[in-house]
Structure 1
Amino acid sequence: MRSNVKKSTIRLLGAAAVISVAALGLTACGSSGSSSSSTGSAVDGKGKTLDVLVGANAQHADALRAWQAKIAAALKKQTGADIKFETFASANDELTKIQTSVVSGQGPDVYTIGTTFTPTAYSTGAFVKLDSAMWDKVGGKSRFVPASLGISGPDAKNQIGVPFASRPYVLAYNTDMFKAAGISKPASTWDGLLAQAKKLTANGVYGFATGYADGYTPWKYAWTFANDYGTPLVSGKKANLDSPAVKKGMEAYFGWLNKDKVVNPAAAGWKDTDAAANFAAGKSAMMLMTTASAATTFNASPIKGHYAFAVMPTIPPGESSAPSKSIPSTSIISGDNVVIASYSKNQDLAAAYVKLITSEDFQVYYHQNFGDLPTNAAAASKIESADKTLAPILDAGAHSKSTPFTGAWGDIQLALTNVVVQARPQLAGSGVSDSWLQSALAKAQQDAQSSLDRASAGK
């Protein structure tokens, strides 16, 4: 059984080895293992060290260190155990750690992974499945916001991911600029939003801010538009990346910069942090595909108190109403899950750590320092009561949709990201040609379908 798990994981990692910035959540490996702690009493971790892998946060490095120290002290008090935190600064760093763990059969006990890579992690068979006993150890399934569990596993009986942080996608808009332009609120259609952006683009200020060079956001536009048109990126075992719906959506997305000129030309080289800084400086009227975590940047800038969040449109470009087969998608189920490695000999201690970081008090603390929304239901209710500006984000989260739960999703996400990466020289020039886009999507479709076929064959 151990060798089968390891071979499966190595195969998946080998397929993902070309991933650059897009694969930030792909994870681990291992064999079966068990904890020596009893299930009905407090975990005795004296003399033990829990190895935890988390993503680095260069924007909030001091806050991350403070959070780690606070968690380490609390776990030490509860169990007597120490924590060794490891961080990865890029997908390549994480993949190196994962591949080392595959070969050695040892490594971090706990991994924090992006929600969209939970299917890939699940397909390795290398993480602990959360049966009723394990759910109890991490605090109980009922403590979580129901929507946050939507991508913990393929179904309610087969889950590996404990929700840790929620980052639904919304748009932010400058309320002063909207008022000056006589606009009461963002439009409910993408065409209407574009018309508003055109009206707001003047005197060095642009209607939209978005980062075409970001490693995580661009593919989400393709996913959103495909669902809104009624042609999801994956239908069963078939990929639809070269569908007319995806092409039409990507044309609109690229067109904002070159055709409509409602995005700063420099955005061809921007990451989301650059787009957020531009919006915070009052140089753009709206920031698209952003999250609550951006509020920490906005509230430390001149626009504090002069912006609001809104749910993004679900009526796609070129349409005045939802198409008949539309799957209105305000946001992907976005955020972080926590998974426990099967090879870990400290699984009960790992569960105690997970229970701690998903408790009400620590979830509120994390939100206050990083902006991400709680997955703990009591903490989410407390946050909503304290800050009504978050209501649109909570609404987006409640109506968010899961990305396809397939081990091929990491490669599909990468294929779409690569389309945008390869388009950037044209975005920085005269624009993306129709023939090039069609060819790029055909290649993405081929890669996505091949990955889906491998995933299906591996079942």
Structure 2
Amino acid sequence: MKARSALVAVAGLAVIGLALQGCSSNGTSASGAGNLDGKGKTINVMIAANSIYPTEQKQWFQDVSAQFQKETGAKVAFETFATANDELTKIQTSVLSGQGPDLYDLGTTFTPTAYSTGAFVKLTDADWAKVGGRDRFVPATLGISGPDEKNEVGIPFLSRPFVMAYNKDLLAAAGIDKPATTWDGLTDQAKKLTSGDVHGMAVAYADSFDPWKFVWAMSIQAGNPILDLNAKKAQIDDPATKKAYQTYFDWMTKDKVVDPAAIGWKNAQAIAAFANGKAAFLPMVSSSSQVTLDKSAVAGKYAYAVMPTVPPGETSNPDGGKPASSIISGDNMVVAKYSKNQDLTFALVKMLTSSENQVKYTKTFGDLPTNADAAKQIEQGNASLAPILASGSKAVGTPFSGAWGDTQLALVNVVVQSIPSLSKGSVSSSELESRLKAAQATAQASLDKAK
């Protein structure tokens, strides 16, 4: 199914989702994993494929199922999605059919889409108790669980505020004390740091998730939230957003601070380039990169910093602009209303968000815990995480609207459609304007239909 068709369909799923409530079942009645009998049952989980640590993720799947089977008798089966479009299409298919995974592990920006369908459990006090209580979690990670505290569907699983890594040795050799705090300043530094086969930045232009985050950050820093929910108006064709795309493309074409091969890079390849000492800056990266970098050629030679919070063309945030360092980023788990094993599913979430399992997950994959106790354990004695925690404190949530999924894909699609022009050396202003108008129409149509 085409991305737009899938998204337009999802925008109208709220009524269908509500109709599925009559088909839902609470499964077993006990609330604690120790009292549940899951023998012969399987809990199905949908989760993003980990392109950076695929082998470790496969082992984690096995370990989770073995632990849960030991505790409850039930097995856990995992299914993965590779792109945001796959993620949204799976939600749509499950909602329409009333069957599918019991549990979804969604990127935080897709929580509004899941919420808008009405097909996922709206968490009551009793539901929160089943996963150990709402106060079990770091407060900031609850920021995009729902439109407000009384209407939440998302249970925080992972936190990954975005930052940039930088090569301390390369900056020192160029006489640069620290990374710039404005995007223009960072571009200037990247120019000074580009020489031979070493480039100023490592950027993954072909990644399915990263490109829109740059554009959104620069736009909101300039005062454009992309979706104005009060006016119910999409604003992708705003001059601030055009400037954001131009800046992002110019790094490749005009400024030449990015390896030309980056046109085809995914996130893992950008991290690899930085890890090999071939880039001075690695923007839009999370703590998950630490696992790779600490075993690489730049081990002990890199640090993290908050990304620029001042938009291109400015020396400070204009009126209405927010100094956003990152989206409120991570994963939320949502439980399907159609699941016949809801209590077992909540028990699985409780297990996965335990302090012990969260610490283990962070040490394996690098993503930060949402469990408050686990977060304290990880933070102690790890000074390198300070900029990541600082970024988390300055993070801003994407608009909580069922139209955001469609909007997010529209933002990425502008980059996807521009790749051929990028590979030839430039993206013309007219080309960009045409693609922004198409993305604007897609976002506005979804916003008009959103509940």
Counterpart of 1:143 (choices 131, 136, 146) is 136
The residue aligned with 1:6 is none
The correspondence for 2:402, drawn from 380, 401, 407, is 407
AA aligned opposite 1:381: K
1:203 aligns with 2:196: yes
Q: Distance in 1 between matches of 2:326 and 2:345?
A: 30
382-391 or 104-113, larger mean C-alpha shift: 104-113
Q: Structure 1, residues 95-131: CA drift from partner, whole Å, max 9, x if none?
A: 6655553454322211111111111111111100111
State yes or no: 1:319 paired with 2:314: yes
Letter aligned with residue 360 of structure 1: S
**1:367 corresponds to:** 362
Q: 1:394 aligns with which of 365, 380, 389?
A: 389
CA distance in structure 1 between the aligned counterparts of 2:252 and 2:378, rounded to whole angstroms: 36
Q: What is the deviation of 1:157?
A: 0.6
The 1:220/1:99 distance shift into structure 2, 3 A limit, reads closer
Alignment partner of 1:83: what SS? strand
Question: Retained in 2: the 8 A contact 1:173–1:309?
Answer: yes
Q: 1:155 & 1:212 partners in 2: Cα distance?
A: 34
Deviations 1:40-92 (A, max 9, x none): 78431242322222223343233223322332233223323222233334556
Distance apart, 1:206 and its partner CA? 0.8
Within the alignment, does 1:43 sit opposite 2:35 as a pair? yes
CA gap of 1:356–1:195, structure 2 versus 1, over 3 A, is same
Question: Which secondary structure does the structure 2 equivalent of 1:428 belong to?
Answer: helix
Q: Which residue number in structure 2 is paired with residue 175 of structure 1?
A: 168
Q: Which runs of 4+ in 1 moved over 3 A?
A: 12-15, 28-31, 39-43, 88-104
1:240 maps onto 2:232 in alignment: no
Paired with 1:95 and 1:119, the residues of 2 have a C-alpha distance of 11
Moved more, 434-443 or 411-420: 434-443
Alignment of 1:191 onto 2:175: no
Selected match of 1:16 from 4, 7, 20: 7
Q: Distance in 2 between matches of 1:64 and 1:180?
A: 38
SS at match of 1:386: coil
Whether contact under 8 Å (2:166, 2:304) holds in the other structure is yes
Letter in 2 for 1:71: V
Cα distance in 2 for residues equivalent to 1:382 and 1:40: 25
One of 281, 290, 304 as aligned partner of 1:286: 281
* Cα distance change of structure 1 residues 430 and 216 upon mapping to structure 2, 3 Å threshold: same
3-state SS of 1:292 partner:
coil
Q: How does 1:350-365 map to 2 (within 5 A)?
A: 350-365=345-360
From the superposition, tell whether residues 58 and 187 of structure 1 become closer, same or farther in structure 2 (CA, over 3 Å). Answer: closer
Q: How does 1:259-274 map to 2 (within 5 A)?
A: 259-274=254-269
8 Å CA contact 2:167–2:302 kept in 1: the answer is yes
Using the alignment, how far apart are the partners of 1:304 and 1:177 within structure 2? 13
In the other structure, the counterpart of 1:33 is 25
Q: How many residues in Structure 1 have an aligned counterpart in Structure 2?
A: 438
Partners of 2:306 and 2:390 within 8 A in 1: yes
SS at structure 2 position matched to 1:411: helix
Change (3 A) 1:88 1:420: closer
> Aligned AA for 2:282?
M
Aligned to 2:13: none
Q: Residue 118 of structure 1 aligns with which residue?
A: 111
Counterpart of 1:285 in structure 2: which amino acid?
A
Say if 1:37 and 1:43, in contact at 8 Å, map to a contact too.
no
What aligned pairs does 1:95-106 form with structure 2 within 5 A after superposition?
Answer: 97-98=90-91, 101-102=94-95, 104-106=97-99
Q: Distance in 2 between matches of 1:387 and 1:397?
A: 16
Contact 2:38 2:344 in 1 (8 A): no
In structure 1, distance between residues paired with 2:325 and 2:94? 37
Residue type at the aligned position of 2:323: P
Give, in whole Å, the separation in 2 of the partners of 1:62 and 1:429.
Answer: 36
Alignment of 1:79 onto 2:72: yes
Provide the TM-score with structure 1 as the length reference.
Answer: 0.90
Q: TM-score, normalised by structure 2?
A: 0.92
Aligned pairs for 1:380-459 (under 5 A) are: 380-455=375-450, 459=451
Letter of the structure 2 residue corresponding to residue 34 of structure 1: N
Percent of aligned pairs with the same residue?
55
Unaligned runs of at least 5 residues, structure 2: 11-15
Q: What's 2:124 paired with? A: 131
Provide the C-alpha distance between the structure 2 equivalents of 1:275 and 1:292, rounded to a whole number of angstroms. 14
Provide, for residues 236-272 of structure 1, a one-character-per-residue CA deviation record: whole Å limited to 9, x for no partner: 2111101111111111111111111111122122211
Shift of 1:302: 0.7
Structure 1: distance between partners of 2:284 and 2:102: 33
Query: What is the letter of the counterpart of residue 150 of structure 2?
Result: K
**Counterparts of 1:443 and 1:208, CA distance in 2:** 29
> Would you say the 8 A contact 2:84–2:409 is kept in 1?
no
| Range that drifts further, 56-65 or 154-163 | 56-65
- 1:162 to 2:163 alignment: no
Amino acid at match of 1:297: T
2:252 equivalent in structure 1: 257
Distance of aligned partners of 1:329 and 1:94 in 2 relative to their CA distance in 1, 3 Å threshold? closer
CA distance in 2, matches of 1:206, 1:58: 23
- Contact 1:13 1:99 (C-alpha < 8 Å) held by counterparts: no
- Find the aligned partners of 2:88 and 2:220 in 1 and give their Cα distance: 30
Aligned partner of residue 237 in structure 2, secondary structure? coil
Distance in 2 (CA, whole Å) between partners of 1:239 and 1:433 is 23
Q: What is the deviation of 1:281?
A: 0.9
Say if 1:293 and 1:372, in contact at 8 Å, map to a contact too: yes
Distance 2:96 2:228 in 1: 35
Q: Deviations over 1:356-406 (max 9, x none)?
A: 101111111001111111111111111111321011111111221111111
Tell me, in whole angstroms, the C-alpha distance in 1 between the residues paired with 2:227 and 2:95. Answer: 29
Q: Does the aligned pair in 1 maintain the 2:28–2:344 contact within 8 Å?
A: no
Aligned counterpart, 1:4: none
